[in-house]
Amino acid sequence: MAEKLTMAGLQVESIARQVRKLPGVVVGRIKEIQKHPNADKLSICLVEVGSGGVLSIVCGAPNVAVGAKVPVALEGAKLPDGTQIALSKIRGVASQGMICSEKELELGEGVDGIMILPEQAPLGAPVDEVLPEEDVLLEIAVTPNRGDCLSVLGIAREVAALTHVPLKKPLTDKGDPPYSPAGPNISELTSVTILAPPLCPRYTASLIRHVVIKPSPTWLKHRLEAVGIRSINNVVDVTNYVMMELGQPLHAFDFDKLEENRIVVRRAEENERFVTLDQVERILDSEMLVIADGKRAVGIAGIMGGWNTEVEAKTRNILLESAFFSPISIRRTSKKLGLRTEASYRFERTVDPLGTPTALKRATRLIQEVAGGEIAPGIIDEFPVPFSPSRLSLRVSRTNRILGAELTGREIQSILTGLEFSVSERSDAVLDVEVPSHRSDVTREIDLIEEVGRIYGYNKIPSTLPTGRMAPQEERASQKVENLVRQVLIGEGFYEVINYSFMNKSVLDKLKIPETDYRRRTITLANPLIEEQAQLRTTLVPHLLQNISLNFKHHLDALRLFEISRIFIGAQGEKTLPEEPEFVAGVMAGYRNEVYWGEKRDLVSFYDLKGVLENLFSILKVEYKLRDDPPIPFLHPGQSAEIQVGGQKVGYLGKIHPEISEIFELDQPVYLFEIHLDQVVPHVRTSVSFQPLPKFPAVHRDLAILVPASVKAEALETQIRSVGGAILEDVKLFDLYKGEQIPEGFVSLAYSLIYRAPEKTLTDAEVNVIHDQIIQSLEQRFGARLRT
């Protein structure tokens, strides 16, 4: 059975054999009770034990009674907890054994006092032969969609379908109820009013009068305790028993405690206070459903009853509830109150709306059986939202195509009928299926195919290898660029990090991002896990700064980190979907290199980061420019620049502003870059061109000039290349000097110029002409002076 259930999707997690061995414990009958001469709370019981004669046993239990059948541990018996029974004297009186409680025999928690055995138990027989037969307990993991399997009936239905045998139900709805009613009709004694039909589509109730509340019989207690439910009393135990048997939670009210002897199903009032059975006061709201009487709430619908109508020893009249509640309502209420019960667990997964009267009649009969009393004729059945079963069409061809099987329509019909689906043939190829009320999870044709597959047996479906030609997968241009960027940065000593795609928009305030900036177009999550991750991030910078800060706190002093990821920019204008551009960002901080003998350790600078990007763009074969206008709000104004490609801004680099460093607890200067990869990709050159080595020698000249400090080196280089023309092969700035011998407001720049002609060897005279023209143009345009 365990194997079949597991293969059908109901995983059996454990199999436990319930074996009871109680050697030396027999059935006895209390013949006489005498008062103990030396103790007020002890009694001397004369107990018949069959062929063992009559034993004198001292007992302190309050429920000893003449004629009661009880378990007696004889001399030499060993109880489950290891206690050895021997002849002893208790307060001066000899005791020839021990009358046992359920707890001492490890048959349950029991009640205060000794265990009372059935009257029909044979005198002197071993107790383990009198108790229910050995059983096997299967622990089954039920998936959330299979609320119908949270009962013995539900599992039995599965077993019946898997083994092709008829399902035997404990009670049917056909014919007269299986008990004899007496007294006035229930409609004359009570009523039910449903004020919130969407939350309670159906409510049924019965009334049992003149019951006697007492401990449950052994069979009932053992059944409940086997599945981990504590026995309380005979009436409450029956409601729990039927819930486990049929899957329908029930609740018993003390009818005499109901104001006006009636039930009202309504929404709770806002901030209504209510004390549940666990004696905890709970504050309710108007979204919650309560069961009330004529004046007050008496239960939280589908979850737990109230302390004010609890069934107790003096209860004589019982109103029994069996209802169907909205699964969504029960789930929300249970979550809000932090209160989960066996009942709420089942209502959340949907119970059978047509099964409420069946469970009610079953429980009513059992209560009369174990607690006596009279059952009022009829039941109350308020059904304001009638149930309509779903009807689906199932194609035989599609079933076989999905499952890879060759089932006939007749075989499919047999499987579904075994699960209590109503099936009729529309044609040889299509079946009409009516979904039973207990299977709310079946809503589509594919659900029916799943039912056929799991009962037919997935292990019967032949295994076939998939066929088809696998086309080679080519990387997109963006993927190639991303991988190349990753390789370059790793080669430069960077470590890749992966951060969450969430942030809190307050971090944009820390970075002083303007309100008009695109990074302010954040997307807020509907249900964030924590407030610090309430928005999707619009920049990679904050997380990298947090990474650096964390590493500083762990005393790491040479850091190079980068991240490649998408950011999320909220839609604007006519757009309805957010933008998800891909960016790469990196940070450098601490020392430039590791400690080596004979070398000086220097901190990284702006030019180290600039060199990394020069190498990156060189490998990507992308021409770029740096601009120091406009300023980037979170970067140092004197050590930052905007990166442009094709005249368009694609990123920036620079030193983190000291104020920002303080906010993010950065103890050392940190240098950062961020590049919009999607905008760079179109400019990446994938083709490689070669040219032969030059045949003619080059002429090298150095040029040292004084220029105003406001002149940009880029402008100077552009002018030099423009005047140099075709024979100027390369220009490199190799020195910048400020200090002594340099006039205030000026800087000294030194360039290395390489001249070469492709078709001949240049003479000094030819080079001098061009070189002088370059000097003159710099003097005229920028006010430069040749430094001598």
The string of DSSP letters for 669-686 reads -EEEEEEEHHHHGGG---
Cβ atoms of 474 and 610 within 8 Å: the answer is no
Q: Is residue 276 left, alpha or beta, with left meaning phi > 0 and alpha meaning psi from -120 to 50? A: beta
- pLDDT greater than 70 at residue 82: yes
Residue 156, pLDDT score? 95
Helix axis angle, 477-491 to 606-620, nearest 10°: 140
- pLDDT greater than 80 at residue 467: no
Q: Of all residues in the chain, what percent carry a pLDDT higher than 90?
A: 74
Comparing 271 with 225, which gets the higher pLDDT?
Answer: 271
Residue 175, pLDDT score? 43
Distance of CA 121 to the CA centre of its chain: 52
SS3 category, 783:
coil
Q: DSSP strand E in 484-553: where?
A: 495-496, 502-503, 523-524, 535-536
Residues paired with 736 in a beta bridge? 749
Beta-sheet strand order (sheet of 297-300): 192-194, 263-267, 289-292, 297-300, 304-305
CATH code: domain 186-382 is 3.50.40.10
Cβ atoms of 755 and 770 within 8 Å: the answer is yes
Domain with CATH 3.30.70.380 in the chain: 699-786
Cα(123)–Cα(143) distance, rounded to whole angstroms? 47
Instruction: Give the CA distances from residue 700 to residues 703, 716, 729, in Å, rounded to whole numbers and listed in that order.
Output: 10, 19, 10
Distance of CA 229 to the CA centre of its chain: 27
- For residue 688, count CB atoms less than 10 angstroms from its CB and return exposed for 0-12, middle for 13-18, buried for 19 or more: exposed
Count, residues in the chain: 788
pLDDT in tens, 772-785: 999 999 999 999 99
How many other C-beta atoms can be found within 10 angstroms of the C-beta atom of residue 164?
10
Domain with CATH 3.50.40.10 in the chain: 186-382
Instruction: Give the CA distances from residue 526 to residues 302, 332, 501, 535, 543, in Å, rounded to whole numbers and listed in that order.
Output: 29, 17, 15, 9, 22
Residue 178, pLDDT score? 60
pLDDT in tens, 319-377: 999 999 999 999 999 999 999 999 999 999 999 999 999 999 999 999 999 999 999 99
Residue 762, pLDDT score? 92
Residue 174, pLDDT score? 47
Domain with CATH 2.40.50.140 in the chain: 20-133
What H or E segment, with its residue span, contains residue 620? helix 606-620
Mean pLDDT to the nearest integer, 731-759: 91
- pTM to 2 decimal places: 0.58
Cα(115)–Cα(128) distance, rounded to whole angstroms? 13
CATH topology of domain 20-133: OB fold (Dihydrolipoamide Acetyltransferase, E2P) (2.40.50)
pLDDT in tens, 640-691: 999 999 989 999 999 999 999 999 999 899 999 999 999 999 999 877 778 8
Mean pLDDT to the nearest integer, 24-50: 92
Residue 9, pLDDT score? 92
Mean pLDDT to the nearest integer, 499-516: 94
Cβ atoms of 201 and 387 within 8 Å: the answer is yes
Cα(575)–Cα(776) distance, rounded to whole angstroms? 55
**Tokens 């720049």 sit on residue:** 749
- pLDDT greater than 90 at residue 389: yes
Q: Which of 352, 305, 302 is nearest to 331 (CA)?
A: 302
Domain with CATH 3.30.56.10 in the chain: 2-17+136-163, 391-460
Instruction: Give the CA distances from residue 289 to residues 272, 329, 630, 660, in Å, rounded to whole numbers and listed in that order.
Output: 11, 8, 61, 52
> What is the DSSP code (8-state) at residue 633?
T
pLDDT in tens, 182-203: 889 999 999 999 999 999 999 9
Mean pLDDT to the nearest integer, 729-750: 90
Cα(661)–Cα(679) distance, rounded to whole angstroms? 29
What is the overall mean pLDDT for the chain? 91
Residue 614, pLDDT score? 94
Mean pLDDT to the nearest integer, 734-756: 90
Angle (nearest 5°) at CA 630 between 624 and 633: 110
CATH topology of domain 477-683: BirA Bifunctional Protein; domain 2 (3.30.930)
With bands split at pLDDT 50, 70 and 90, how would you rate the model's confidence at 311?
Answer: very high
Residue 463, pLDDT score? 82
Cα(671)–Cα(665) distance, rounded to whole angstroms? 14
Residues paired with 670 in a beta bridge? 589
- pLDDT greater than 60 at residue 391: yes
> What is the DSSP code (8-state) at residue 173?
S
Residue 171, pLDDT score? 63
β 263-267/192-194 pair status: parallel
Contacts of 140 (CB under 8 A, 6+ apart): 5, 10, 11, 12, 13, 149, 155
Residue 242, pLDDT score? 96
Domain 2-17+136-163, architecture per CATH: 2-Layer Sandwich (3.30)
What H or E segment, with its residue span, contains residue 129? helix 127-130
> What is the DSSP code (8-state) at residue 617?
H
Residue 593, pLDDT score? 77
Identity of the highest mean pLDDT range in 80-89, 252-261, 476-485:
252-261
Q: Of all residues in the chain, what percent carry a pLDDT higher than 70?
A: 97
Residue 547, pLDDT score? 95
Q: Which two tokens stand for residue 671?
A: 């240098």
Q: Which two tokens stand for residue 601?
A: 């350790």
In the chain, DSSP finds a helix count (H) and a strand count (E) of 20, 38
Q: Which of 660, 642, 659 is nearest to 651 (CA)?
A: 642
Mean pLDDT to the nearest integer, 545-552: 94
- pLDDT greater than 70 at residue 173: no
Report the range of poorest mean pLDDT among 50-54, 615-619, 720-724. Answer: 50-54
Domain 391-460, architecture per CATH: 2-Layer Sandwich (3.30)
> What is the DSSP code (8-state) at residue 260?
G
With bands split at pLDDT 50, 70 and 90, how would you rate the model's confidence at 628?
Answer: confident
Domain 699-786, architecture per CATH: 2-Layer Sandwich (3.30)
